[in-house]
Amino acid sequence: MSHPHPELGPPSPLVPGGMRLVALGGLGEIGRNMTVFEHAGRLLIVDCGVLFPESDQPGVDLVLPDFSALEGRLDQIEALVLTHAHEDHIGAVPYLLRQRGDIPLVGSRLTLALVKSKLTEHRIVPEVVEVEAGDRRDFGPYALEFLAVNHSIPDALAVAIRTTAGLVLHTGDFKMDQLPLDGRLTDLGGFARLGTDGVDLLLADSTNAEVPGIVTSEREIGPVLSDVFAAAEQRIIVSCFASHVHRVQQVMDAAAEHGRKVSLVGRSMVRNMGVARDLGYLKVPSVHGGLLVDLKEAEELPPDQIVLISTGSQGEPMSALSRMAGRDHPIRIADGDTVILASSLVPGNEAAVSRIINDLTRLGARVVHKGNALVHVSGHAPAGELLYVLNLVRPSNFIPIHGEWRHMRAHAELAALTGVAAANIVIAEDGIVVDLVDGQISVAGKVPCGYVYVDGLSVGEITEASLKDRLILGEEGFLSVVVVIDSTSGKLVAGPEVHARGAGIDDAALAEVVPLVEDALAEAVKDEVTEVHQLRQVVRRTVGKWVNENYRRRPMIIPVVVET
């Protein structure tokens, strides 16, 4: 098995007749899924998703793939294939289309409907090509075949990519639920047929590669939800992903069974379920007076007659559930309420979700989650199913995708167990270039592939240095020091004025540092240091040393030197 090395440089030109691929996101992380294929001078992209920020990225709304590798080549893109409509696969589409608006978006009916709904908010009208399982379409030198896969959102697809360089199968996200709620099975027959044809390269979902066995069927959740509803005496709040149509369907069915009304909470939840309902993927049970009510009406109903379906299952700070837990939402959690977290934990969100569970429990709610009840099953294939696919497809080469390093490593080891040669397995990271030439893959180099941060309306303007400053401000606070100096002599005219915010230093104590700054500036003038930038550094060093010696802290120090 090969893996990237830090000494890798830019790749050499692609060998004629070969295929090149590079992930601009999704390898070594859960999110930002985006893979770019190159063949015969043309590009094909599969997925274009976002990564949600972690606690060490304050103020960041989204993290995008780095599109810099596509600079000067946007006109070579034949199409953008979207395997399904989860944010980690479609969330960055608006930002790519800002750079070239007519890139054809290829996907299933529900996927394209949800993408178009998202793009409307960005005032973008996309060029779309709707496909369904079994379809075959050509885009330049790429002949694509689409296969049904089962996932935690309807209408997910795998894509087989045929070129003169070979046949590549990209599974997208998938599992092999044998009793799916919509009856749509993963097309194992299609996988086996491709295996018979000869798959030169398999790219497969690695998220649950460390989990043994096979997936639990979604159907087993329905009775558990019904039991939870039967035991609930007050309001029920169910939190899940805003795209999990099947889970919302099960909650609505349970609500109808137990005589409760349903209200959708959260803009993305309302938008996505509206699209799913219009297209027939979500079927609202017919009950007297109607099942769905708006939030204002829900607030007026007796607590034992309402179910709220909300976003926020991952502890997102601004989500409806987080605001409820923090008492910053019209819905006030009360003693006896039942909160159901109907989703898996995305790695990295454990602390945020644990905090929400504690906050909700403190307010008197009973919190039901995957750890204490079967209220969710993963949308990703565990090791037993990944082995099954590897044996069906029998790929010549293999690259694990969609996962952190531990997931990809575990998946690579499964591939080796099924007989894929170690030299034909590559565990890559974002930006690593892999070539498929004459039926053999190899690492060809590396392209720049950093994080691109979205903060409000700014895209890419926030840097790692900016985030470091934000972390320091958030954890250590800051001190500002204002001095006025004579522009000719450099001598102190007024100040210093020292102010602290969030640094944990009493205002009275700041008086101690004033004579230290005065003395340091006087010494600087003696040494003929009069340039403003240099004087700022003198002030910063003097105050920083004093704070460190007396408080063992490192707040941000902002020296302001005014010339007069």
Confidence at residue 329, expressed as pLDDT on a 0 to 100 scale: 81
Among candidate residues 340, 314, 321, 319, the one with its CA nearest the CA of residue 268: 319
Confidence at residue 479, expressed as pLDDT on a 0 to 100 scale: 81
pLDDT bin (cut points 50, 70, 90) of residue 396 is very high
Residue 150: strand pairing partners: 175
Question: Rounded mean pLDDT of 479-506?
Answer: 79
Question: Rounded mean pLDDT of 386-395?
Answer: 97
Confidence at residue 472, expressed as pLDDT on a 0 to 100 scale: 65
CB 380 within 8 A of CB 386: no
Same fold, 19-213+378-455 and 218-368: no
Among candidate residues 346, 254, 239, 266, the one with its CA nearest the CA of residue 291: 254
Confidence at residue 211, expressed as pLDDT on a 0 to 100 scale: 95
CB 148 within 8 A of CB 83: no
Confidence at residue 51, expressed as pLDDT on a 0 to 100 scale: 82
Question: Rounded mean pLDDT of 50-73?
Answer: 80
Question: Rounded mean pLDDT of 429-439?
Answer: 95
Confidence at residue 538, expressed as pLDDT on a 0 to 100 scale: 85
Six-digit token pair at 345?
A: 């934990």
Confidence at residue 1, expressed as pLDDT on a 0 to 100 scale: 60
* Domain parsing of the chain, residue ranges: 19-213+378-455, 218-368, 464-563
DSSP 220-234: GHHHHHHHHHHH--S
Q: What share of the chain is helix, strand, coil (3-state, %, to 5)?
A: 35, 25, 40
Confidence at residue 345, expressed as pLDDT on a 0 to 100 scale: 67
Give residue 540's identity as a one-letter amino acid code. Answer: R
Q: What is the percent of the chain with per-residue pLDDT over 70, rounded to a whole number?
A: 93
- Cα–Cα distances in angstroms (integers) from residue 207 to residues 132, 174, 184, in the given order: 25, 10, 21
Q: Which of 34-48, 148-162, 215-229, 309-323 has the lowest mean pLDDT?
A: 309-323
Q: What topology is assigned to 218-368 in CATH?
A: Rossmann fold (3.40.50)
pLDDT in tens, 245-284: 999 999 999 999 999 999 998 888 999 999 999 999 999 9
Residue-averaged pLDDT of the chain:
89
Rounded distance between C-alpha atoms, residue 364 and residue 358, angstroms: 10
Confidence at residue 471, expressed as pLDDT on a 0 to 100 scale: 66
pLDDT bin (cut points 50, 70, 90) of residue 467 is low
- pTM for the model: 0.83
Confidence at residue 458, expressed as pLDDT on a 0 to 100 scale: 61
Q: Does domain 464-563 have CATH number 1.10.3720.10?
A: no
The pLDDT of residue 4 is above 60 = no
pLDDT bin (cut points 50, 70, 90) of residue 531 is confident
Can you identify the CATH homologous superfamily of domain 19-213+378-455? Ribonuclease Z/Hydroxyacylglutathione hydrolase-like (3.60.15.10)
Rounded distance between C-alpha atoms, residue 286 and residue 292, angstroms: 10
Q: Three-state SS across 261-304?
A: EEEEECHHHHHHHHHHHHCCCCCCCCCCCCCECCHHHHHHCCHH
Please report which residue ranges of 339-440 form alpha helices under DSSP H.
350-362, 383-393, 405-417
Contacts of 178 (CB under 8 A, 6+ apart): 185, 217
Task: List the strands of the sheet with 34-39, edge to edge.
Answer: 128-130, 105-107, 77-81, 42-46, 34-39, 19-25, 432-437, 440-446
The pLDDT of residue 2 is above 60 = no
The pLDDT of residue 469 is above 80 = no
- Better pLDDT: 332 or 155: 155
Question: Rounded mean pLDDT of 324-348?
Answer: 83
Confidence at residue 456, expressed as pLDDT on a 0 to 100 scale: 65
